[in-house]
Amino acid sequence: MSSDHALMDGELSGFRGELLRPTDGGYSASRRIWNGAIDRHPALIALCADEEDASAALKYALSRKIPLSVRGGGHNVSGSALAEGGVVTDFSALRGVAVDPDGMTARVQPGALWGDVDSASQKHGLAVPAGIVTHTGVAGLTVGGGFGWLSRHWGLTSDNLLSVRMLLADGSRVRASEDENPDLFWAVRGGGGNFGIVTEFRFRLHRLGTHVLAGPILFRADQAREAIAFYREFIATAPDELSVYLNLRTAPPLGWVPAHLRGTEVLLVIPFYVGDPRQGEDLLRPLRAFGPPAADFVGYKPYVEHQAMFDAGVPHHWGYYWKSHYLPPLTEAAVEVLLEHSWAKSSPASYTLLFHMGGAITARPKDSSAASGRDAAHAMNISAAWAAGGPSHPDIAWCRDYFTAMEPHATGGVYVNFLHNDEGEARTRAAYGSRYDRLAQIKAKYDPENVFHTNQNIRPAPAESR
Ligand X SMILES: Cc1cc2nc3c(=O)[nH]c(=O)nc-3n(C[C@H](O)[C@H](O)[C@H](O)COP(=O)(O)OP(=O)(O)OC[C@H]3O[C@@H](n4cnc5c(N)ncnc54)[C@H](O)[C@@H]3O)c2cc1C
- Which residue lies nearer to ligand X by CB, 317 or 366? 317
67, 68, 71, 444: residue in contact with ligand X (rule CB under 6 A)? 71
Element spanning 454, H or E: none
Cα(418)–Cα(382) distance, integer angstroms: 9
Give yes or no for a cis peptide into 253 (omega within 30° of 0).
no
Strand partners, 201: 108, 164
Is residue 144 a contact residue for ligand X (CB under 6 A)?
yes
Is residue 137 a contact residue for ligand X (CB under 6 A)?
yes
106, 120, 139, 218: residue in contact with ligand X (rule CB under 6 A)? 139
132, 208, 246, 376: residue in contact with ligand X (rule CB under 6 A)? 132
Is residue 271 a contact residue for ligand X (CB under 6 A)?
no
Which residues lie below 8 Å from residue 110, measured CB to CB, with a gap of 6+? 70, 72, 91, 94, 138, 139, 197, 198, 199, 200, 201
Is residue 136 a contact residue for ligand X (CB under 6 A)?
yes
Shortest distance (Å) from residue 379 CB to ligand X: 8
Do 183 and 166 form a contact (C-beta atoms < 8 A)?
A: no
Cα(244)–Cα(256) distance, integer angstroms: 19
Site string for ligand X, 354-393 (x = CB under 6 A): ----------------------------------------
Shortest distance (Å) from residue 213 CB to ligand X: 19
- Burial classification of residue 285, based on how many CB atoms lie within 10 Å of its CB (0-12 exposed, 13-18 middle, 19 or more buried): exposed
Site string for ligand X, 19-58 (x = CB under 6 A): ---------------x------------------------
- Which residue lies nearer to ligand X by CB, 70 or 267? 70
Is residue 6 a contact residue for ligand X (CB under 6 A)?
no
- Which residue lies nearer to ligand X by CB, 80 or 247? 80
Site string for ligand X, 407-446 (x = CB under 6 A): ----------x-----------------------------
Which residues lie below 8 Å from residue 233, measured CB to CB, with a gap of 6+? none
By C-alpha distance, which of 104, 125, 106, 101 is closest to 116? 106
By C-alpha distance, which of 339, 168, 451 is closest to 176? 168
What is the Cα Rg of the chain in Å?
A: 22
Do 122 and 308 form a contact (C-beta atoms < 8 A)?
A: no
CA distances from 466 to 114, 132, 309, 441, 444 (A): 38, 39, 47, 6, 8
Size of site (CB under 6 A) for ligand X: 33
Is residue 314 a contact residue for ligand X (CB under 6 A)?
yes
Helices 332-341 and 395-406: crossing angle in degrees, nearest 10, is 170
Options 75-83, 251-259, 276-284, 332-340: segment touching ligand X (CB under 6 A): 75-83
Is residue 319 a contact residue for ligand X (CB under 6 A)?
no
Options 20-28, 137-145, 343-351, 433-441: segment touching ligand X (CB under 6 A): 137-145
Residues that bind ligand X (CB under 6 A): 34, 69-77, 80-81, 110, 131-133, 136-137, 139-141, 143-144, 146-148, 192-193, 197-198, 314, 417, 455
